[in-house]
Amino acid sequence: MERIKIGVVGGLGHIGLIQAACLAALGYDTIAHDKDEAKIKKIAEGKMPFVEPGLEDLVTKAMHGGRLRFTNQMGHLQEADIVYICVGTPTLPTGAADCSQVQFAVEEIARNRSTHAIVAIKSTVPVGTARRLTLRLRERNLSDKVTIVSNPEFLREGAGVDDFWKPARIVVGSEPADPQPAGTRVFGSRPTATAGEAAAKVAGIYSPPGVPVIITSWENAELIKYASNAFLATKISFINEIAHLSEKAGGDIRVVSKGVGLDPRIGPGFLEAGAGFSGPCLEKDLKSLIHQFNEAELEPLLLRSTLLVNLRQRKNLIQKLEDRLGLLYGKQIGVLGMAFKPETDDVRDSHSLPIVNCLLSMGARITVHDPWINGPEQAGLSETELSGVIWASSPYEAADGKDAVLILTAWPEYREIALQKMKARMSKPVVVDGRNLFDPQEMQALGIDYQGVGI
Ligand code: UDX
């Protein structure tokens, strides 16, 4: 069997480290590049850059087995047959995705190669990026060094290792045989011989039985990623919109969601109403997709609404606090949950940050708690971010002496809170729940003034 060697750029990021560790666990000789020397030193000492269930064990075993190495030298990727690009594509002020790290990585790899490599782009990049980067390589006479394929990633944080082993589909995009301008008749066209070979090789790296494999054009692969994330975001905003009417009508959105999701054409996932979606992917990708529509002089009506509904969810939670407490100036509020979702310590683009910042700007005094984050340093926040906020070591401490508790992340341990005990520590028994963790009737029976979303 051909021994394929793997390189990963952005190897200590969420996608990169999962990719590198899982491929090394499959037996591939893997070298992961990251520009952050401090993180490389830490991982050599056994310290993970972030928490992800199941990952530490994989990394440790692969490192000890000699199948996984880390480097900050791009030249060390020289021997890799396939190099995965897993660097970030952050949002620019215009909403566009900043692809400069992807471009830099692709060109550096091409410049450093003496032999040919396949470069598989896992980073989420706007439609047309793989084509544009290939043209740039051609202009610089570097195109014989690398073949670019698009291989979008669908991992969820907190379930990334599991998602790697059990993907819903594998998508690989490559250059179509007949050169044509982006956006025209690419669907269904056959890849060039080299591109087809490269796509098949990438698809075959890990392709569990029964998992559908889509080998298609660059553009289709890039769009599949954006359309998937935008659809998930739209599902959440849709149920959040319905939640408003449900709340007014005295309904329970959780029952409505269940009833809707049982239709197999709709499916049960991503129908939980609440504070809305956040985190490093859904919002960023939605903004980038809107920007791509604008660039193409198209009007993304639905996508804009998805984003607006999401922002409204955040404002509504603050409104709910004001409805109960009046002016928030000087009020003491305990906020439960800083991570953008449970089972992660990631606060990047978490909805909790703008909500807490807004409460602070209104003059409220805030104590926060998160089971996996004990302070701003661990959260990677600078000294100026959330300054004045107190970090509590338990939800009870966060509720101590407070006028209200605001729940923002659906951590399982919050469902286990001894409500009587919490109520006894609060100065007013007000709970605004952005994740619908409790039963309103039970809360009422306990004498807690409880307000969820859509219930
Ligand atoms: C997402 C995609 O799911 C994944 O396929 C892609 O590769 C990266 O982006 P992730 O950002 O890790 O993954 O989180 P996800 O589980 O999708 O949740 C995103 C946000 O939506 C969270 O804030 C979550 O709390 C919220 N959410 C999710 C809801 O508000 N309601 C739901 O029903 C589901």
Q: What pLDDT does 184 receive?
A: 43
Point out the residues of the chain with pLDDT beneath 70.
1-2, 177-192
Rounded CA Rg of the chain: 24
* Catalytic residue numbers, as ranges: 281
Q: Which two tokens mark 157?
A: 């944080």
Whose alpha carbon is nearest atom 34 of ligand 1?
270
Distance 446 CA to ligand 1 centre (A): 32
The answer, yes or no, to whether any atom of ligand 1 lies below 6 A from the CB of 154, is yes
Q: Are 307 and 290 in contact (CB under 8 A)?
A: yes
Helices 55-64 and 14-25 pack at an angle, to 10 degrees, of 50
Distance 280 CA to ligand 1 centre (A): 9
Residues 274-310 have pLDDT tens digits of 999 999 999 999 999 999 999 999 999 999 999 999 9
- Residues 376, 98: Cα–Cα separation, whole Å: 26
Residues 114-167 have pLDDT tens digits of 999 999 999 999 999 999 999 999 999 999 999 999 999 999 999 999 999 999
- Say whether 284 sits in a helix, a strand or coil: helix
The answer, yes or no, to whether any atom of ligand 1 lies below 6 A from the CB of 83, is no
Q: What pLDDT does 384 receive?
A: 84
Best substitution site from 124, 229, 282, 435 to test ligand 1's pocket, by max atoms within 8 Å of Cβ?
282
Average pLDDT score, the chain: 95
Q: What pLDDT does 449 receive?
A: 98
Best substitution site from 277, 284, 313 to test ligand 1's pocket, by max atoms within 8 Å of Cβ?
277
Q: What pLDDT does 190 receive?
A: 61
- CA atoms in the 13 A half-sphere facing the CB of 392: 20
Q: Which two tokens mark 61?
A: 């075993």
The answer, yes or no, to whether any atom of ligand 1 lies below 6 A from the CB of 271, is yes
* Among 434, 1, 91, CA closest to 285: 91
Q: What pLDDT does 204 receive?
A: 96
Q: What pLDDT does 176 receive?
A: 80
Q: What pLDDT does 324 receive?
A: 98
DSSP calls for 287-356? HHHHHHHHHTT---HHHHHHHHHHHHHHHHHHHHHHHHHSS-TT-EEEEE--SSSTT----TT-THHHHH
Give the number of other CB atoms < 10 A from CB of residue 141: 9
Residues 173-194 have pLDDT tens digits of 999 865 554 544 444 456 667 7
The answer, yes or no, to whether any atom of ligand 1 lies below 6 A from the CB of 226, is no
Distance 221 CA to ligand 1 centre (A): 20
- Residues 391, 370: Cα–Cα separation, whole Å: 8
Tell me the CA end-to-end span of the chain in Å, nearest whole number: 58
Largest CA distance in the chain: 74
Q: What pLDDT does 186 receive?
A: 41
Best substitution site from 169, 228, 236, 257 to test ligand 1's pocket, by max atoms within 8 Å of Cβ?
236
Q: Which atom of ligand 1 is nearest to the CA of 235?
A: 33
Sign of CA pseudo-dihedral 155, 76, 143, 204 = negative
Q: pTM for the complete prediction? A: 0.94
- For residue 78, what is the DSSP state? G
Helices marked H in 380-439 — which ranges? 395-399, 412-415, 419-425
Q: What pLDDT does 178 receive?
A: 59
Helices marked H in 332-452 — which ranges? 352-361, 395-399, 412-415, 419-425, 440-445
Q: Are 365 and 398 in contact (CB under 8 A)?
A: no
